[in-house]
Amino acid sequence: MNCCVFRGRQSARPFYDLVASIAAEEFGHIELVATTINTMLTGAAAGEPGGGALGDVKSTRNTQQFIAGGAAALVQDSMGKPWNGDYVFSSGDLVEDLTHNFFLETGARNNKLKVYEMVEHPAARALTGYLLVRGGVHQVAYARALERLTGADLMKLFPSPRIPTDKIPESQPHIERGEHLKLYRFSQEDFNEVVAVFNGPHPETGEDLTVADVPHPIGAPAHDLPPQPAVFAPDYAPEEIAEIAQKLRKKAGLPNEPTGTVSEESADMLQTLTGKIG
Ligand SMILES: [Fe+2]
């Protein structure tokens, strides 16, 4: 986990603004990873409960995903090892914290490339292609912050690791939109001082690094992934929950149809995803 400056924020403002802006984006990335895992698990355990519907997944490496996860993301790595508080690093030394974060971003990009090489599912490839680009921005941002703070010329470290994102098809659209150069502030009003640190040329392309004037990347409505009966709960069935929710909605004077925005392409999601897996 990227780490934060907990004390003396005001005096360290440009650096605090940088760490806080990146931390906010990381939370979004956790959501993206969870969405990707949920998408990939759609249709992975097919069938209706009652007849050994989970027989096919009992020999998967992370069986716990199906036993405890309900075909949904769990807060753990690919071997089932859970996240814990040890992942939060805050030494009280800004140089050490920034170096630690630079190291984390470097390692994360290397790991993402390995994941990219492991997967064929389009959701996983789309995710890793995007995160390689955004992780690159974070890596450059920490390197630049260390340069500004200490004078060390970290430009000479790049490319590190040597990942040609411009040749990765799933990374290309994001590079074309300039996502490899932009840092988001995730607030219209705050964290303005990040411009004092995040500037100058990108170490690999020489293009200008910029702080985005929009608060966050343009997203898209999430898919409303269908229920997965094979990872059943003994009670209630998804239809029963829908029925109870409908009654409560009516009683509360809410519209008949569920509110909220989801992707219009969600309806035939299960078929599409099951097709990809098969
Ligand atoms: Fe990152």
DSSP string, 166-201: GG-TTTHHHHHTTTTTEE--S-SSS-GGGGGTS-SB
DSSP string, the chain: ------S-TTTTHHHHHHHHHHHHHHHHHHHHHHHHHHHHHTTTS-S-TTS-TTGGGTTSTTTHHHHTTTTS--SB-TTSPBP-GGG----S-HHHHHHHHHHHHHHHHHHHHHHHHH---HHHHHHHHHHHHHHHHHHHHHHHHHHHHH---GGGG-SSS---GGG-TTTHHHHHTTTTTEE--S-SSS-GGGGGTS-SB-TTT-PBPEE-SSSS----PPP-PPP-GGG--SS--HHHHHHHHHHHHHHTT--SS--S---TT-TTHHHHHHHHH-
111 CA to centre of ligand 1 in angstroms? 12
d(CA 41, CA 226): 11
pTM, two decimal places = 0.88
pLDDT computed for residue 271 by the predictor = 64
d(CA 217, CA 29): 12
197 CA to centre of ligand 1 in angstroms? 17
22 CA to centre of ligand 1 in angstroms? 7
Pull the structure tokens for residue 186. 């995730």
Domains of the chain as residue ranges with CATH:
13-277 (1.20.1260.10)
269 CA to centre of ligand 1 in angstroms? 29
d(CA 50, CA 175): 49
104 CA to centre of ligand 1 in angstroms? 8
> 161 near 203, Cβ under 8 Å?
no
Burial 18-55 (b: 16+ CB within 10 A, else e): bbbbbbbbbeebeebeebbbbbbbbbbbbeeeeeebbe
158 CA to centre of ligand 1 in angstroms? 17
239 CA to centre of ligand 1 in angstroms? 39
What does the pLDDT profile of the chain (278 residues) look like in tens digits?
455 567 788 888 999 999 999 999 999 999 999 999 999 998 888 777 777 888 888 888 888 888 888 888 999 988 889 989 888 888 989 999 999 999 999 999 999 999 999 999 999 999 999 999 999 999 999 999 999 999 999 989 998 888 988 899 999 999 999 999 999 998 888 999 999 999 999 999 999 999 998 877 777 888 888 888 888 777 788 888 889 999 999 999 999 888 888 888 776 665 666 555 44
pLDDT computed for residue 2 by the predictor = 52
Q: What is the dihedral of CA 75, 78, 81, 86, to 10 degrees?
A: -70
271 CA to centre of ligand 1 in angstroms? 33
105 CA to centre of ligand 1 in angstroms? 6
Pull the structure tokens for residue 156. 């000479």
